Structures are given as structure tokens and as C-alpha cells.
Amino acid sequence: MTCKKLIPGIGCQNGQAVSLNQRQNCLEDDLLALSRHYSDNGADELLIRDLSQTDEDHERTVLMIKEISRTVDIPIIAGGRVKRLEDIKKYLYAGAKAVLLNVADEDNVDLIKEGAHRFGGEKIYAYIPEFSFLERAEEFRQLGASLLVLDCFGEEDGLLPEYTLSDLLGHHMPMLAFCGQDTPQSIASFLRAPQIEGVILTASGQYEGNYMNMKQELKQRGIGVDTFESEIRWDEFKLNSDGLIPAIVQDYKTSQVLMLAYMNREAFENTLKTGKMTYYSRSRQELWLKGETSGHYQYVKSLHLDCDNDTILAKVKQVGAACHTGARSCFYQTLAQKEYRDTNPLKVFEDVFSVILDRKEHPKEGSYTNYLFDKGLDKILKKLGEEATEIVIAAKNPDPEEIKYEISDFLYHMMVLMADKGIGWEEIMEELANR
């Protein structure tokens, strides 16, 4: 079954979150925190609508989108103030997976072709402000748009009318639809249309942004949505003498082991339902939603079962500290240790990069890194170009050791450039993951 998407839509104006259907209604001063909330609580993607009225506010919104893309784990769709190709590029370079182009503006219709040619059609969505523009859907497809986004805020009761459903059957382009109300009935009326891949919802409503709850309601109505479903039944787990199964918890990005706890059946099923790690407290003899009192929730990214079916491995996004002592991990006491060289690629990159950043903040006499920073961007770029050429020359030689040496030199100078431009490894990894 194809999973339909739930996409919160948030307007951005003067750095604040604004309701899309009531554009003067500020929802939250901290747009970043609101975006994180939706990402952590079951949203599949996130729409940021740029409602800026000035170029200055537009630039502020682009920077806000960039900050959000660094923080959330779900794709971002952006748009709202596109006047030229450069605006499309700004949204995409800020981290958006796709950009909305309002087809009510004929200049934007021309930009569809230009944007699709430059960045790829999968990054260009045609925003349909009125149903009458559906008559031109084939034109937008041929120009390069990969998806239509229907604005249905004006529909009575927030429902998709029957005549529109029949109209949609004549179109083959995938679509998203703005939904005027976030009730299961309203959402289901949209998602039953086969061409509609997801709905865009206003950032408010009875579910308070908890899309995991909303998805459970939609599942009961026969709508396929992305939820946690265990491929192995609880009855197949091998439990201990207390009827519990241990769960080892890791940070999903760093693989750091955070803690060990236990689950009973109810805790396991609640974890699947909510997307938050829930355990059974052996000391209190009750369910324990991690973070319920401290706010240090563990948002599930994946659950795995070992070969003996007697231990769960949970990979989570940890908010704050996992340990009751305030430590990030419960395993902070060293018992025995032998020195070794860590060659984990990302760890090595991060360690070298942290040294470069430290040199930038705390210059050291005689440091080659500080020499590059002192000489400036042109010198860094010159060295980077030279090292790239050295890689090409080394690749033509039979000795593999030489190319390893030259690639290492190139990567070092690339990290100096990253530090100079304020770009971190996590941003690079996010961009590669998006591709």
C-alpha cells in the first residue's frame, strides 16, 4: 500500500510562524522549535511558505529555511516569493527538496521550464491557486513541473467536492492538496483521490501537531499512512522471567549507546503507536514514557530485533540527556580501556575538522592552517585547485599510495574552505542524503 503524506504548512513572515489560511495569525515566535516539533511527531514533510513583503524579510526567511533544514529530519518544500531563477536557487541551496511556483503569475509559468532545466523537474512544483488552472496541468507537466499543489482552503467545510474528484481522475500528475481542516474526515476525503499523494495542513488544530495520533485515525479509515509497524509479532519475542524484553538504545546519528531499559507488550505497542520510546519501569511497576516529566523524549527512528529474538535495538533521536544523572549516555563510567586508533570515517572527519575550527578561533604560531586563514579565501582556493590537479595526475600513475596521499591533502584543504565559509560536515551529509 502506498503511504500518503501529512505535511504541515507554516507561513514565515518577519521571522515568525504564521497560519497559512489566516496570514495575520502568528502561531509561534520560535519557528525553528515549531518545525522540530512537527518533524519529531510524525509529519512526513514540511512546507515553509515565504510570506515576506520586502527583500530584507525574504533573505531572513531563506536563512530561516536553511536553519530549519539543518535541524529537522524530514524534507522541506519552500516557496511563496519567487520572481526569478535566483529565488529558486536560494530556496534549494537553503535545503529545500522542491520549490513551489505560483502558476497564477505567468512569469512563474515561464520559470517552470527554466527551473526544471537548471535544477531538475523533481525540484519544481506547480502551485495551483484555483481549480480552473487544472485545465493547464498538461502544460505545466510538459514545461517540467513534477507535481501539482492544489489550494483548497476555499472549499466549503474543508472537503474536496465530488466534482473536483471527478476532475482529478482525468489528470495523471501526482498532486498535493492544501486541506482547510485537519479532521480525519476532511483529510480522508482528499487522500482517497488516487492522484493526491498527500495533504498540506495548517499548523494548528485539535491534534496540536501530533501527526502520529492523526495517522492512527486515518488508518482506521483505511488510508495508508507511514506509521511504525513491527514485522515480527510480540508473541515471537523471547521474554525474560518477568515477561519483559531488554531494549538497547542508540543515538541514530552517532550510534552512541545511550541506555538500557525494558519493555512489556503494552510499552512496545505504545512505542509503535506514538513514535516515542516507552518502557516498563521494574521499580515502579508501571509504564514509563521516556521524557514525560523531563522533556527528554526519545523519538524512534528504527527498531531492530537480534538473532535470538530476545533483545531490541532502538535507534532514536534523543532530546537532552538520556541518563537521570544528566549525562548524555548512561554508559559514562570507564572500567578498562586500551588506546587504539579510531578510523571511523565520520569520526576522523569530525576530529580533523574540529582541530581546523580550533585553529580558526585560537590561532597557533607556525600553524599551516592559520597560514591559510591569514592569506584568505583566494589562497585557500588556489591550494584546493592545486590539490585537485594532483589527484588527477596521481590517478594516471600506477601507485595507489600516491592517490591516497593526494586525496587526503585535498580533503584537508576542502575542510579549511568549509571552516572559512561556515559550513559543517553535518550540512554536507544532509545535502548528500537529499540527493
Tell whether 52 and 123 lie within a shared domain. Answer: yes
d(CA 78, CA 45): 11
Tell whether 35 and 127 lie within a shared domain. Answer: yes
d(CA 134, CA 150): 9
Residue 27 lies in a domain: yes
Domain containing residue 47: CATH number: 3.20.20.70
Residue 11, domain extent: 5-220
Tell whether 286 and 425 lie within a shared domain. Answer: no
Residue 228 lies in a domain: no
Which grid cell sits at 426? 553535518
d(CA 240, CA 238): 7
Tell whether 60 and 155 lie within a shared domain. Answer: yes
Are 95 and 72 in contact, with CB atoms under 8 Å apart? no
Are 49 and 10 in contact, with CB atoms under 8 Å apart? yes
Are 380 and 420 in contact, with CB atoms under 8 Å apart? yes
* pLDDT, tens digit only, all 435 positions of the chain: 589 999 999 999 988 888 886 655 666 668 898 999 999 999 999 999 999 999 999 999 999 999 999 889 999 999 989 999 999 999 999 999 999 999 999 999 999 999 999 999 999 999 998 888 888 999 999 999 999 998 875 444 334 444 455 455 556 789 999 887 778 888 998 898 888 999 999 876 445 568 999 999 999 999 999 999 999 999 999 999 999 999 999 999 888 999 999 999 999 999 999 999 999 999 999 999 999 999 999 999 999 999 999 999 999 999 999 999 999 999 999 898 877 666 677 778 888 999 999 999 999 999 999 999 999 999 999 999 999 999 999 998 877 788 888 999 999 999 999 999 998 888 888 777 766
54-59 long-range Cβ contacts below 8 angstroms, 24+ apart: 57/13, 57/14, 57/15, 58/87
Tell whether 59 and 205 lie within a shared domain. Answer: yes
Domain containing residue 248: CATH number: 3.10.20.810
Residues 6 or more apart whose Cβ sits within 8 Å of residue 22: none
pLDDT of residue 297: 96
pLDDT of residue 26: 67
Residue 327 lies in a domain: no
Are 127 and 103 in contact, with CB atoms under 8 Å apart? yes
Residue 410 half-sphere exposure, CB side, CA atoms within 13 Å? 15
Question: In whole angstroms, how far apart are CA 302 and each of 10, 219, 253, 315, 348?
Answer: 27, 20, 12, 5, 26
Number of compact structural domains in the chain: 3
Residue 38 lies in a domain: yes
Tell whether 285 and 371 lie within a shared domain. Answer: no
Domain boundary among 169, 191, 220: 220
Tell whether 382 and 279 lie within a shared domain. Answer: no
Tell whether 419 and 273 lie within a shared domain. Answer: no
- For CA atoms 320, 66, 48, 188, give the dihedral sign: negative
pLDDT of residue 210: 83
Say which amino acid occupies 407: I
Prediction pTM value = 0.82
Residue 182 lies in a domain: yes
Tell whether 151 and 290 lie within a shared domain. Answer: no
d(CA 21, CA 182): 12
Domain boundary among 189, 220, 251: 220
Tell whether 69 and 197 lie within a shared domain. Answer: yes
Residue 113 lies in a domain: yes
Domain boundary among 195, 220, 245: 220
Domain containing residue 372: CATH number: 1.10.287.1080
Closest CA to 298 of 265, 264, 257: 257
pLDDT of residue 24: 58
d(CA 121, CA 147): 9
Other CB atoms within 10 A of residue 39 CB: 22
Residue 335 lies in a domain: no
d(CA 394, CA 79): 45
Residue 191 half-sphere exposure, CB side, CA atoms within 13 Å? 26
pLDDT of residue 157: 39
d(CA 289, CA 280): 8
pLDDT of residue 204: 63
Tell whether 90 and 169 lie within a shared domain. Answer: yes
Which three-class secondary structure string do you get for 74-109? CCEEEECCCCCHHHHHHHHHCCCCEEEEECCCHHHH
Length of the chain: 435
Count Cβ atoms within 10 A of the Cβ of residue 43 and give its class: 0-12 exposed, 13-18 middle, 19 or more buried.
Answer: buried
Residue 426 lies in a domain: yes
Tell whether 106 and 139 lie within a shared domain. Answer: yes
Classify each residue of 48-82 as buried b or exposed e, where b means 16 or more C-beta atoms within 10 Å of its C-beta. bbbbbeeeebbebbbebbbebbeebebbbbbbbbb
Across the beta sheet with 298-305, what order do the strands follow?
257-263, 245-251, 312-318, 298-305
pLDDT of residue 340: 67
